[in-house]
Amino acid sequence: MTVMELVNPATAEVFADVEMLDAAAVDRAVTDAQRAQRSWAGSTPASRGMALRAFAAAVEAHRRELADLEVTNSGHPLGQAMWEADHVRDVLTFYSATPERLAGRQIPVSGGVDITFAEPIGVVGVITPWNFPMTIASWGFGPALAAGNAVIVKPAEWTPLTSIRLAELAVESGLPEGLLQVLPGRGDVVGEAIIGHPGIGKVVFTGSTRTGRRVMEQAAQSVKQVTLELGGKSANIVFADSDVARAAATAPYGVFDNAGQDCCARSRILVQRSIYDEFMERLEPAVAGVRVGDPRDDGTEMGPLVSRPHWEKVASYVPDGAPVAFRGSAPDGPGFWFPPTVLTPQPDDRSVREEIFGPVVTVQAFDDEAQAVAMANDSAYGLSGSIWTENLSRAMRVSRAVASGNLSVNSHSAVRYSTPFGGYKQSGIGRELGPDAPSAFTETKNVFIAVGPDPQAEGTS
Ligand code: ADP
């Protein structure tokens, strides 16, 4: 039996371990999931809606417990972890309306009646990363369950605990045993077994672009559907005609939330040259003001990085002699602490081009709107981004011109469960959340019923 030791990122101490499963466990899980899915899809739409609301209520009742698990396992600040537990509840509540609304269509045809059915795929695999373990799991299992599927989640190696607890809460709240299962294990063992399993019809993967490419290659072997939510290197574009004070005050939170371990992090700040000096003068105290510390404290805004290996990776972007403009603070002592860091590198520096996934932001100047758009789009990624301007026409023009799936004007809005989320270019394929997400977990079945050109001849009157 392989065991993974789980480390508290704030103390660097091992606090629990978890059994890492193997491919045989995936086989067993799929058999159980198929059985559960048949009874789930066979139950009434109203009862499925009620069951999802009961699951949401169980999450609500255990929100503090789930948040505490995430604080210890992932180093998330308590306030953020509470938001995450509430977000899971909201995702389930939002999609609890789906079973009674997932209607097909009736399409005009000659000679008969044509109707479509939105049928469940069957068993869906959801492979999640370590940065937002419970919320990202719910983006997969919420709409997938609502569309009548069973779901098998493989959490990231370092951060399985909230997902494991959510699957227990699903059963405690009355969902059929086996309908939502969580299988901790290695990506190249359990993850690959899920992708290769003939009993699983779709895989939702969230993680790095490098691994996402591999997931897509493997899924191609069995022509399996994939949704991929991958990396980002998003721009925060600040125009001279913006509320510069607000743009500077909020910029740290657009990138340093979750210690920058966020695929939506606005990790490239682009500032119009005429306000560059003013912006930097305002940004410095804002960065210094980010409260970095014990994630268990209510007021903490930023915790540690998730692990020692990840700390090493982030640190490699700030070598000795790096063009550091200024830095915030971080606690000394054990734990994987990294202070918020602002760099002013050359455009071709790897800190400008690669996803760092830590609290490191680059700042570059631009001269006009066309250059801002060109710089924002000069990336293999296209996940999110922000645009700061008081000029509505400019806001619309730039929103349409930036090749990215999720843009915010005069804000760094977090993901909303009611709106679609996903990336352009190498940031992914498909969309999660929003009103259409359940459809991504269905097969469309088209049925034509011949009525005949002559009702008399068919024996009807
Ligand atoms: P990171 O963000 O640390 O680079 P990855 O993108 O590699 O992580 O991992 C995201 C998720 O994908 C994790 O649950 C991980 O275990 C899983 N994973 C890693 N490699 C594979 C693989 N070859 N097949 C399927 N899943 C994988």
Examine the domain organization and report whether 368 and 439 are in the same domain.
no
**Is 243 part of any domain?**
yes
Examine the domain organization and report whether 192 and 178 are in the same domain.
yes
**Is 421 part of any domain?**
no
pTM over 0.95: yes
Ligand 1 geometric centre to CA of 210 (Å): 9
Distance, in Å, from the CA atom of 263 to the CA atom of 98, rounded to the nearest integer, reads: 28
Domain containing 224 — which CATH number? 3.40.605.10
Q: Supply the pLDDT for residue 414.
A: 78
Distance, in Å, from the CA atom of 383 to the CA atom of 421, rounded to the nearest integer, reads: 9
Quick check: 200 and 123 in contact, CB under 8 A? yes
Distance, in Å, from the CA atom of 90 to the CA atom of 417, rounded to the nearest integer, reads: 7
Domain count, the chain: 2
Examine the domain organization and report whether 224 and 269 are in the same domain.
no
> Tell me, what amino acid is at 219?
A
Q: Supply the pLDDT for residue 453.
A: 67
Closest-CA residue to 259 (of 281, 291, 288): 291
Torsion of CA 386, 389, 392, 394, to 10 degrees: -80
Closest-CA residue to 290 (of 80, 9, 146, 81): 80
Q: Supply the pLDDT for residue 454.
A: 56
**Is 460 part of any domain?**
no
**Is 171 part of any domain?**
yes
Within 10 angstroms of residue 456's Cβ, the number of other Cβ atoms is: 8
Distance, in Å, from the CA atom of 322 to the CA atom of 316, rounded to the nearest integer, reads: 10
DSSP 367: S
Distance, in Å, from the CA atom of 116 to the CA atom of 106, rounded to the nearest integer, reads: 7
User: Which residue owns the Cα nearest ligand 1 atom 23?
Assistant: 188
Distance, in Å, from the CA atom of 259 to the CA atom of 339, rounded to the nearest integer, reads: 9
Verify whether ligand 1 is closer than 6 Å to residue 208 (CB atom). Answer: yes
Q: Supply the pLDDT for residue 1.
A: 76
Longest dimension (CA), the chain: 88
Distance, in Å, from the CA atom of 135 to the CA atom of 77, rounded to the nearest integer, reads: 15
DSSP string, 163-202: HHHHHHHHHHTTPPTTSEEE----IIIIIHHHHH-TT--E
Distance, in Å, from the CA atom of 300 to the CA atom of 79, rounded to the nearest integer, reads: 8
Distance, in Å, from the CA atom of 55 to the CA atom of 41, rounded to the nearest integer, reads: 17
Examine the domain organization and report whether 213 and 300 are in the same domain.
no
Examine the domain organization and report whether 224 and 253 are in the same domain.
no
Task: Show the domain range for 203.
Answer: 2-230+427-447
Within 10 angstroms of residue 369's Cβ, the number of other Cβ atoms is: 17
Distance, in Å, from the CA atom of 387 to the CA atom of 373, rounded to the nearest integer, reads: 10
Distance, in Å, from the CA atom of 187 to the CA atom of 159, rounded to the nearest integer, reads: 13
Domain containing 320 — which CATH number? 3.40.309.10
Ligand 1 geometric centre to CA of 207 (Å): 6
Strands (E) located in 9-147 = 13-20, 106-107, 112-120, 123-127
Quick check: 124 and 148 in contact, CB under 8 A? no
Distance, in Å, from the CA atom of 254 to the CA atom of 251, rounded to the nearest integer, reads: 5
Catalytic residues: 229
Ligand 1 geometric centre to CA of 209 (Å): 10
Provide block-wise average pLDDT over 10 residues at a time, the chain (461 residues): 95 98 98 98 98 98 98 98 98 98 97 97 98 98 98 98 98 98 98 98 98 98 97 98 98 98 98 98 98 96 98 98 97 96 97 98 98 98 98 98 98 93 98 98 98 60 41
User: Which residue owns the Cα nearest ligand 1 atom 16?
Assistant: 187
Verify whether ligand 1 is closer than 6 Å to residue 215 (CB atom). Answer: yes
Q: Which of 211, 310, 356 to mutate to test the pocket of ligand 1 (most atoms within 8 A of CB)?
A: 211
